Amino acid sequence: MSFLDTKHKKKSATITTVIGVLILILIFTFGLTYFDPPKEFGIAVNFGTTDFGSGNVQPKEALKPAEQEPQTEEEVVEEKVIEDQIIEDDVVEEEVEASTTPNEAAEDVITQNNEEAIAIKKQEEAKKKEADRLKEVERLKKEEDRLNKEAKRKAEKKAEIERKKIEAEQKRIEKEKQEKAAKRKKLDALMGGFSDGDGKASGGEGNDNKPGDKGKKNGDPNASGYYATGGGGTGGNYRLGNRKAISKPKPIYDCNEEGKVYVGISVDKTGKVFAAQAGVKGTTNSAPCLLTKAKEAALKTKFNSDSNAPSKQVGIIIYNFSLSE
């Protein structure tokens, strides 16, 4: 068979069959013992047909009716008295039954009162439950309000802490700026004004022993003089790519004006300035006397020749005019 297809299954089936046979043999051999008839428990009661009796002979059947003897006058009178008593008892019972009718009505009233009392009690219990529910709702609402206030207080406290941190950081930055400004001021006083301003350049130029860039803020970086000794124009700042000016005539200064004049120039391959326009972008004073003198000086300027330069190379010459001090 398919379900006994292995050695282990066959062995298990054999063992199961043997155990089942042994159990059946034990059941039929020993079995369960019982009493036939079964034992009865309790108190044995004597056989009889009446609630009274006398004698020592136990009858096996019901007794014959006893023969009645003629009644005497006393017995007749006694029976009549008993009958009258029975009649009186019946009348009393009827009266009692009649008298119990109001009691039943009273019992009905009491029952109704009890039902009303129960209904009132239920209503009171319902009202009490509703009151308890409302109290619980109120308690939960107060608890929610308390939690909301606590959360709001924590949020405000956190915001206050953040604000204080920001203020502290701003104060720190401002303090650092003030300290840097104070250090720069001290350094400026120590170095004779070298660190004045917000310049980024390094180094220095001058003929003194102190570090710094000697000269005037509106002076010419290419000028060799440090002090103005009279009215006049300094040598210009010549800008023409990688070409250099080999002839730098100074402009004639004959007016009471000062400032920088930017002159746009056009130069050929030989280095000659064949066109000039004074007062271009960068000029700080457009007085006609300054523009005229600057243009004249620019046209007289000579640059080195360059065969690789274009036929028209554009550049700038800057002249700085200053009054005597």
Q: Would the pLDDT of 81 be above 80? A: no
At residue 232, the pLDDT reads 40
More confident call, 28 vs 193: 28
Q: Give the residue-averaged pLDDT of 294-319.
A: 93
Q: Which domains does the chain have, with CATH numbers?
A: 232-322 (3.30.2420.10)
**CA 325 to centroid of chain Cα atoms:** 72
Burial class (CB in 10 A: 0-12, 13-18, 19+), 43: exposed
Are 276 and 318 in contact, with CB atoms under 8 Å apart? no
Residue 216 makes CB contacts below 8 A (sequence gap 6+) with 228, 322
What is the pLDDT confidence band of residue 221, given thresholds at 50, 70 and 90? low
Give the range among 21-35, 93-107, 160-174, 220-234 with minimum mean pLDDT.
220-234
CA 240/CA 130 separation, integer angstroms: 101
Residue 90 makes CB contacts below 8 A (sequence gap 6+) with none
* Cα-based distances in Å from 308 to 235, 247, 302: 27, 21, 17
Share of the chain above pLDDT 90, in %: 38
Under DSSP, the state recorded for 22 is H
CA 277/CA 317 separation, integer angstroms: 10
More confident call, 268 vs 204: 268
* Cα-based distances in Å from 211 to 143, 193, 199, 216, 274: 75, 9, 15, 15, 42
Output the average pLDDT for the chain.
77
Under DSSP, the state recorded for 300 is T
What is the pLDDT confidence band of residue 86, given thresholds at 50, 70 and 90? low
Q: Would the pLDDT of 187 be above 60? A: yes
Residue 322 makes CB contacts below 8 A (sequence gap 6+) with 216, 218, 219, 228, 231, 232, 234, 258
What is the pLDDT confidence band of residue 21, given thresholds at 50, 70 and 90? very high
At residue 228, the pLDDT reads 41
Token pair in block for residue 9: 């299954």
Token pair in block for residue 179: 């300290």
pTM of the model: 0.31
Share of the chain above pLDDT 70, in %: 61
Round the CA-based radius of gyration of the chain to a whole number and report it.
71
CA 83/CA 283 separation, integer angstroms: 161
At residue 186, the pLDDT reads 72
Query: DSSP secondary structure string, 34-79?
Result: --SSPP--S------SSS---SS---SSPPPPPPPPPPPHHHHHHH
Among 270, 249, 254, 256, which Cα is nearest to 317's?
249
Q: Would the pLDDT of 234 be above 60? A: no
At residue 298, the pLDDT reads 94
At residue 38, the pLDDT reads 66
pLDDT in tens, 116-149: 888 898 899 999 999 999 999 999 999 999 999 9
Q: Would the pLDDT of 99 be above 60? A: no
